[in-house]
Amino acid sequence: MRVGVLTGGGDCPGLNAVIRGIVRKGTQEYGYDFVGFRDGWRGPLEGRSVRLDIPAVRGILPRGGTILGSSRTNPFKEQDGVRRIKETLAKNEVEALVAIGGEDTLGVAARLFTEHGIPCVGVPKTIDNDLSATDYTFGFDTAVGVATEAIDRLHTTAESHMRVLVVEVMGRHAGWIALHSGLAGGANVILIPEQRFDVDQVCRWIESRFKASYAPIVVVAEGAMPKDGELVLKDGSTDSFGHVRLSGVGEWLAKEIEGRTGKEARTTVLGHTQRGGTPSAFDRWLATRFGLHAIDAVRDADYGTMVALRGTDIVRVPLSEATAKLKTVDPALYAEVGVFFG
Ligand code: F6P
């Protein structure tokens, strides 16, 4: 049996570990062979593939990014997209497809399976950790680690100059990276998209921190927004999803803080450093297990499913669940960390 593999959407540390897990188990235990499609759904659309065998996956476990390349191409938005994908699969004699991706990539896999009978298995990935069907996505732990290290470093420079340091982290519409890295890094204020913030309250926390003779660190998620009427964000440019770009809140907030408190403030936008580089040990562990279980789903012909982490178990859930609901930060959890603010 020949299995196709592709990685779609924003890259994420651990993608190569999934590919390696799939290829190693599939080859050694089930005698399958593999075709890797280049650049997400663009690969099967354009008939671009590479050979995926054990030598091809040697040494890739600690490497960030994806050896297959990625894109946010959606075949349902392309002329004859589904027909072209079917043709490529037939030409390559691919009998099953493992799609590793986030909401968009898995949404395509779900539709290809339910509407067109293409045998797909999904593996969830995103540094944002916002897929409700799984307890954690790989990439998240690495991103939190990068952000935490940055916050640790920013404490000492903030203290030296007695400045406010605003750190803007990724996460799109969810505050998971901000919450986890802010707590781990001992931030004095954490702002998340799930709850609009009050700039005056932020300034009060900052002032109380200065009163205690410490310099404040504010972690703000890129999707966080102040209360109504306080801000018109951005220049209206869009990200590769076509969403209005959210980043910029950190810069805006630092200016507001300076204006309202008279304290000097600086902004650090961590951006894609959170997605690049080697995956953490946890992400290698999770991604590898996802790969091993995805190829088991193929062996069982359990198509239309996605692997997911529940507790410490890897389970299978319908692919449609992957995209059903965004997992956001619960207000009670956010309230819990509020004890450290100020
Ligand atoms: O979904 C992952 C993510 O890194 C988000 O945190 C961020 O908003 C977005 O992707 C950035 O997308 P791009 O790499 O297309 O700019």
48 is in an annotated binding site: no
> What is the 62 CA–ligand 1 centroid distance (Å)?
21
DSSP characters over 224-240: --BSTTS---S---B-T
220 lines ligand 1 (CB under 6 A): no
Tell me how far apart the alpha carbons of residues 210 and 164 are, in angstroms, rounded to a whole number: 9
Average pLDDT, the chain: 94
Residue 201: CB atoms within 10 A of its CB come to 13
> What is the 172 CA–ligand 1 centroid distance (Å)?
7
125 lines ligand 1 (CB under 6 A): no
Backbone angles phi, psi at 65, to 5 degrees: 70, -155
Burial class (CB in 10 A: 0-12, 13-18, 19+), 117: exposed
Q: Give all strands of the β-sheet with 164-169 in edge-to-edge order.
A: 189-191, 217-221, 164-169, 265-269
The catalytically annotated residue of 39, 104, 128, 141 is: 128
- At 232 the pLDDT is 52
Reported as a single tens digit per residue, the pLDDT across 196-216 is 999 999 999 999 999 999 999
- At 246 the pLDDT is 53
Give nearest CA residue, ligand 1 atom 10. 10
* Token pair for 84: 């072209």
pTM summary value: 0.94
> What is the 87 CA–ligand 1 centroid distance (Å)?
31
For residues 226 and 255, the answer to whether their CB atoms sit within 8 Å is: no
Output the furthest CA–CA distance in the chain (Å, rounded): 70
Sequential pLDDT tens for the chain (342 residues): 999 999 999 999 999 999 999 999 999 999 999 999 999 999 999 999 999 999 999 999 999 999 999 999 999 999 999 999 999 999 999 999 999 999 899 999 999 999 999 999 999 999 999 998 999 999 999 999 999 999 999 999 999 999 999 999 999 889 999 999 999 999 999 999 999 999 999 999 999 999 999 999 999 999 998 886 555 555 555 555 555 555 589 999 999 999 999 999 999 999 999 999 999 999 999 999 999 999 999 999 999 999 999 999 999 999 988 877 889 999 999 999 999 999
Q: Which atom of ligand 1 is nearest to the CA of 128?
A: 6
Reported as a single tens digit per residue, the pLDDT across 293-302 is 999 999 999 9
Does the active-site annotation cover 128?
A: yes
Tell me how far apart the alpha carbons of residues 218 and 267 are, in angstroms, rounded to a whole number: 9
Domains annotated on the chain, with CATH: 2-138+277-322 (3.40.50.450), 144-274 (3.40.50.460)
Question: ipTM greater than 0.95, yes or no?
Answer: yes
321 is in an annotated binding site: no
Q: Give the burial string for 303-314 (b: 16+ CB within 10 Å, else e).
A: bbbbbbbeeeeb
Give nearest CA residue, ligand 1 atom 7. 172
Torsional sign, CA 309, 311, 315, 320: negative
- Alpha-carbon Rg for the chain, nearest whole angstrom, is 22
201 is in an annotated binding site: no
Q: Which atom of ligand 1 is nearest to the CA of 247?
A: 8
